[in-house]
Amino acid sequence: MKRILAITASAVVGFALAVSAVPAGAAPSHERPRISKEPFGSLEDGTKVDRYTLTNGRGVRVRIITYGGIIQTLETPDRHGRRANIVLGFPTLKDYVDLNGGPYFGAVIGRYANRIAKGRFTLDGVTHQLAVNDGENSLHGGLKGFNTKVWKAQPFKGRDSVGLRLQYTSPDGEENYPGTLKTTVTYTLTTDDELRVYYHATTDKATIVNLTNHSYFNLAGEGTGTVYDHRLTLNASRYTPVDETLIPTGELAPVKGTPFDFTRPHTIGERIRVDHPQLLIGQGYDHNFVLDRRRPGALTEAARVTEPRTGRVLKISTTEPGVQFYSGNFLDGSFAGTSGRVYRQGDGFALETQHFPDSPNHPNFPSTVLRPGETFDSTTVYAFSAAR
């Protein structure tokens, strides 16, 4: 059985998110991990949505809703052990539904994360026309992507973990994608302070797949202001420049000598207003970075982010070939988050591990084609700590 994305044996359950939950000198808690369930409202057709709270007994707590597989909140300690929610989100189901995705806070994105030019791709000689929902392009799965679906949930407990397994079957032709795609997303919170999210998918007909999570982070705490003082390092010596509609040109351009060079740490806001054509197009950073990997499919460090006031550090590793760095350019103060504070430009950043945007239309990009008998598997590791 062929896999279109290789994973390491040690990374069987992907998208890990590890947190140093105990400050230096403090005695660790020995509470057992636990998971609880509560209602989170209903859709207009009566479909019920639940919220699961995963707690690892060490100060890390994650809330996930079955609508969109959304990570609604993620609480972790700072250097003093003070816990805060560090992801952007909404307080109610109605907020998520009314925006029909909107900023895609914390959601599972599919079938195809990021953009496809003019919503069109050709596979095995057949041209498929997707819905366009981002100007003339298709974005994040179309009008009703995976972020708008209610996923079947199965909680589970392990020896040193609790988790939530989410499943959704996308029928052949949904959003005009070919093939029935069966997708499983598994979140696991461990006593090692890891939140693991593993993506797995199969199809009965040739199709394209690109799955990710669209969490926005603010390591100082949700609703506390911009992330422009966060220091970012990206393990990427190239990126994919875009045209005026944010579609890649096909070039893999070197970052050296440009504001896109994060191979050494820079604050997010340090060069965001530099007069560079790519920054003007995106109104900031909204670009895919090509990761420097030892070998395809290997778990590779992608990014490191540090926040000076709280000491929180985020390190991301992934088996994916790219990461979309988005600096929250289109947050415009038109809605409030879980804290009740409105989100303005730059109040959060996203690092979406993924295959490249518009890959089906660029033969030189890593393939996103999935065929019957193959499996899609993807692993990303988000490791959090707090520097003194």
Paired tokens of 1: 């059985």
Q: What are phi and psi of 281, to 5 degrees?
A: -65, -45
Catalytically annotated residues: 214, 352
Give the 3-state secondary structure of 153-218: EEEEECCCEEEEEEEEEECCCHHHCCCCEEEEEEEEEECCCEEEEEEEEEECCCEECECEECCCEC
Q: How far apart are CA 147 and CA 96, in angstroms?
A: 9
Question: The tokens 């045209």 sit on which residue?
Answer: 243
Find the farthest-apart pair of alpha carbons in the chain and give their distance in angstroms, rounded: 63
H or E segment and range at residue 34: strand 34-42
Single-letter code of the amino acid located at 182: K
Among 251, 261, 315, 318, smallest CA distance to 285 is for 261
Question: The tokens 């919170």 sit on which residue?
Answer: 189
Q: How far apart are CA 217 and CA 105, in angstroms?
A: 10
Q: What's the alpha-carbon Rg for the chain, to the nearest Å?
A: 20
